[in-house]
Amino acid sequence: MGYIVMDMEWNQAMSSQSAVFNKLPIHLRGEIIQIGAVRLTDDFLPGDEFQIDVRPVFFKKMHYKVEKLTGIDKYRLEHGLGFKEAFAKFREWCGEGTTFLTWGCDDRNIMEQNIIVHDLDWDWIDRWINLQVIYNVQTEAGRNQTGLSIAMEHFGIEQTRVAHDALGDAYNTSLVCSKLDLLSGIEQYDNASKVLSIKNCKVQNGGDNAQEAIEHNAFTGYPTREEAFSSKAVSAPECPVCGGTLSCSRWINQGDRRYMALCSCKDDGQFLVRIKLRLTADDTWTVNRIIYRADEKQIQYYKSKAHPEGRRRKRRSKKATAAHSHS
Ligand SMILES: [Zn+2]
């Protein structure tokens, strides 16, 4: 099991009305342009380091604020790797059984969103810990969101690395870790985060909650693709809110072994369910399923894929006469 302190930089859309959002199933808040990480040693001290630049494909133009803050410009990013490749390298560096330690909730949210829009897997990530929770408990800082620089000041840590650089911030965060009682902090984490931080994380998400994945499941060990797909556990999900029955529309094949359906609960409204099938090394099939609360945008997205305009028109014109004679 590895503890990895992680930090990222991400680019933003120039405008929330940007046309690129029509192509995306979720409202992508930030596209990752840099991942930095520090592996903690067995004594919870800073160990190996990792950094990679990622070339954005959705928000290609650097937002002036991000460029100013990070000093990263488009010329630097031309040499970055695509997310898929960068993420694979990062995963390989992390190894199995990774627990990510981050300062705040943003890095987790942004990472999961980026994994979703690139249709990759996060089942290899064991756990996410928001270090602010542990810091707040152990320094009696209460419920406030403490900035990293305040935490460094609190422990008298001198800033030796660049801030707003993914690896620099990850390193600084790992120095804060070395001042915390991380072991007991992680043990008490679930309880403490119930009391303290879940509230923090929600405040940070603001109005974006509708687009967050609310359930992620992996189903493994199916001998065939058909058996995987026809399994009730996979294709007849329970309501992630109340556990009741969901009634689902037909599954839309999105290519590349990806499917989606719109499901609704009579009490909790609509959900977008996305499934991805994958053949594993031992020749069995694994299914990753993600459930989002469906807002108007996602319902429209589903409908646009379910009834592509061109195809619908073609079908209609052929059968137009027959259909009309019945009505
Ligand atoms: Zn429900």
**pLDDT per position as a tens digit, 30-86:** 999 999 999 999 999 999 999 999 999 999 989 988 998 898 888 888 889 999 999
Task: Tell how far the Cα of 262 is from the centroid of ligand 1, in angstroms.
Answer: 14
Task: Tell how far the Cα of 266 is from the centroid of ligand 1, in angstroms.
Answer: 6
Task: Tell how far the Cα of 276 is from the centroid of ligand 1, in angstroms.
Answer: 23
CATH code, domain with 257: 3.30.310
Task: Tell how far the Cα of 226 is from the centroid of ligand 1, in angstroms.
Answer: 28
* Averaged pLDDT, 161-165: 85
On whether the CB atoms of residues 130 and 186 are closer than 8 A, the answer is: no
Instruction: State whether 162 and 76 are in the same domain.
Output: yes
Instruction: State whether 8 and 119 are in the same domain.
Output: yes
Task: Tell how far the Cα of 200 is from the centroid of ligand 1, in angstroms.
Answer: 25
pLDDT for the residue numbered 312 = 47
Tell me the per-residue pLDDT of 214-243, one tens digit each, with 9 for 90 and over.
Answer: 777 778 889 999 999 888 888 889 998 888
**Quick one: pLDDT band at residue 179, thresholds 50, 70, 90?**
very high
Q: Is the pLDDT of residue 202 over 80?
A: no
Task: Tell how far the Cα of 215 is from the centroid of ligand 1, in angstroms.
Answer: 13
C-alpha 298/C-alpha 305 separation (Å) is 11
Radius of gyration of the chain (CA): 22
Instruction: State whether 281 and 185 are in the same domain.
Output: no
Task: Tell how far the Cα of 270 is from the centroid of ligand 1, in angstroms.
Answer: 9
* Averaged pLDDT, 113-130: 87
Task: Tell how far the Cα of 265 is from the centroid of ligand 1, in angstroms.
Answer: 5
Beta bridge partners of 99: 3, 127
Place of tokens 């009305």: 17
214 SS3 class: strand
Task: Tell how far the Cα of 73 is from the centroid of ligand 1, in angstroms.
Answer: 45
Task: Tell how far the Cα of 238 is from the centroid of ligand 1, in angstroms.
Answer: 8
Instruction: State whether 222 and 193 are in the same domain.
Output: no
pLDDT for the residue numbered 167 = 96
Going from the C-alpha of 128 to that of each of 104, 186, 309, the distances in angstroms are: 10, 10, 42
pLDDT for the residue numbered 143 = 72
Instruction: State whether 72 and 217 are in the same domain.
Output: no
**Quick one: pLDDT band at residue 169, thresholds 50, 70, 90?**
very high
**Quick one: pLDDT band at residue 213, thresholds 50, 70, 90?**
low
Q: Is the pLDDT of residue 121 over 90?
A: no
Instruction: State whether 242 and 186 are in the same domain.
Output: no
Q: Is the pLDDT of residue 200 over 50?
A: no
* Averaged pLDDT, 112-131: 88
Instruction: State whether 92 and 236 are in the same domain.
Output: no
Task: Tell how far the Cα of 240 is from the centroid of ligand 1, in angstroms.
Answer: 7
Instruction: State whether 187 and 252 are in the same domain.
Output: no
Nearest 5°: the CA angle 225, 229, 235 is 165
- List helix spans (H) across 139-236: 148-154, 166-179, 182-187, 189-195, 197-205, 225-230, 232-235
pLDDT for the residue numbered 122 = 82
How many structural domains are present in the chain? 2
What is the domain range of residue 286? Answer: 213-310
**Quick one: pLDDT band at residue 323, thresholds 50, 70, 90?**
very low
pLDDT for the residue numbered 327 = 36
Mean pLDDT, the chain, whole residue set: 84
Q: What is the DSSP track for 12-75?
A: --S-TT-GGGGG-SS----EEEEEEEEEE-TTS-EEEEEEEEB--SSS-SPPHHHHHHH---HH
Q: Is the pLDDT of residue 203 over 50?
A: no
Instruction: State whether 104 and 228 are in the same domain.
Output: no
Task: Tell how far the Cα of 268 is from the centroid of ligand 1, in angstroms.
Answer: 4
Percent of the chain with pLDDT over 90: 40
Instruction: State whether 181 and 239 are in the same domain.
Output: no
- In the DSSP assignment, the letter for residue 103 is S
Instruction: State whether 93 and 50 are in the same domain.
Output: yes
pLDDT for the residue numbered 11 = 95
Q: Is residue 325 part of a domain?
A: no
Task: Tell how far the Cα of 274 is from the centroid of ligand 1, in angstroms.
Answer: 18
Going from the C-alpha of 215 to that of each of 85, 211, 275, the distances in angstroms are: 26, 12, 12
Q: In the listed set 151, 178, 205, which residue is the last one of a domain according to the structure?
A: 205
Q: Is the pLDDT of residue 196 over 80?
A: no
Task: Tell how far the Cα of 267 is from the centroid of ligand 1, in angstroms.
Answer: 5
Task: Tell how far the Cα of 236 is from the centroid of ligand 1, in angstroms.
Answer: 13
Task: Tell how far the Cα of 127 is from the centroid of ligand 1, in angstroms.
Answer: 26
Instruction: State whether 28 and 133 are in the same domain.
Output: yes
Q: Is the pLDDT of residue 311 over 80?
A: no
On whether the CB atoms of residues 128 and 122 are closer than 8 A, the answer is: no
